[in-house]
Chain A
Amino acid sequence: MAPLIECTGITKSYGGPASRLALDNLSFQVESGEFAAITGPSGSGKSTLLHVLAGLDRPTSGSMVVDGHELSHQSEADLARFRRSRIGFVFQFFHLLNNLSVLDNVLIAAQLAGAGEATSRAHAHELLSELGIADKAREYPAKLSGGERQRVAIARALVNRPAVLLADEPTGALDSHTGGQVMELLVGFNQRGQTVLLATHDMELARRYAGRRLSLRDGRLDDDSRSEPQPQGHTG
């Protein structure tokens, strides 16, 4: 069976006189159902890799196939269509739309993907219940705590049943307790078959929750290791 994600020689450089290499000839594969953590210090290229995988940014060179889609040469519109149907993205700072209610924040992703109203609404409510924020469905993001906002972001990322959930430092803006709760939720979804790619600078967190760790340093793949997750209580 073909891997869910297959990157070959991905390079990303930022132009200008002082050209900087953010990703340097990265090659790896991720199988469906994996929980992989991309780790590394600040500036190692974790977020850039996630952006490239989500089609939010383009690699300078290399080939990249996600869920059977070759992304390197697609148009902006095609990338957007791919993103809304196959990718769920959880940002460090949640990035909710403040002028939409919690429920609408979740539903909007389904609407963009052209999903049916009744199904989407039911699924959104289901996700909010699962994430423990069903009672907040009519609230606006400004009234929610950080942890609640990140749960909304996760619900939004999952509403279209994406092939892969990309989470960029999802606990970075949360206290350790709340961060732990969020990670438990991600693990829970992974155990039900959801492929998760987590970017984090926290090696401990990666070891605790992810079965595979891709370690980046200066844009290069420094290490690719696998081990059983070792949950030891909550941490951020």
Chain B
Amino acid sequence: MTEIVFFLFGAIALGSAINILVQKHVLYSALSMIVMLGSIAGLFVLLHAEMLAVVQILVYAGAIMVLFVFVIMLLNVGREGESPDPLRWLKFVGIPAGLFLLSLLSSSVWHAESGPQTASTFIGSPEAIGSSLFTDYLLPFEATSVLILIAIVGALVLAKREL
């Protein structure tokens, strides 16, 4: 049963990720991205990371992708321009190179020391993540709040027409 769900979500994730690249209109790419994020959230549930699945839906598919779609609609960008690419022949080098990278990654994973299999214990609960976040990772947690503050100020400075 879990295998069927895994292959379903994995196929949806791969298909929508390829669809992001195939689509000419960037808004369709963004919508396809939302499908990919949702299926990855499903995979998180399969891996007993319920907390992260919820955060993935709320933060990624909710907040970040809304920002993307908002900017795409604000700028009113249409289809990608079909200007001739001076380096188009490089695709014929790049695609084999990318497939080589994929085979390299896959073979290194495949031949790696097979560690413990998927744990059946419930480890990804909000309680476990919260207690780890507020004890072992308290300093990085506080640093991210400063990072978000800097990002807010930076986004305002960059996007405002004139200060």
- Are A and B a genuine interacting pair, yes or no? no
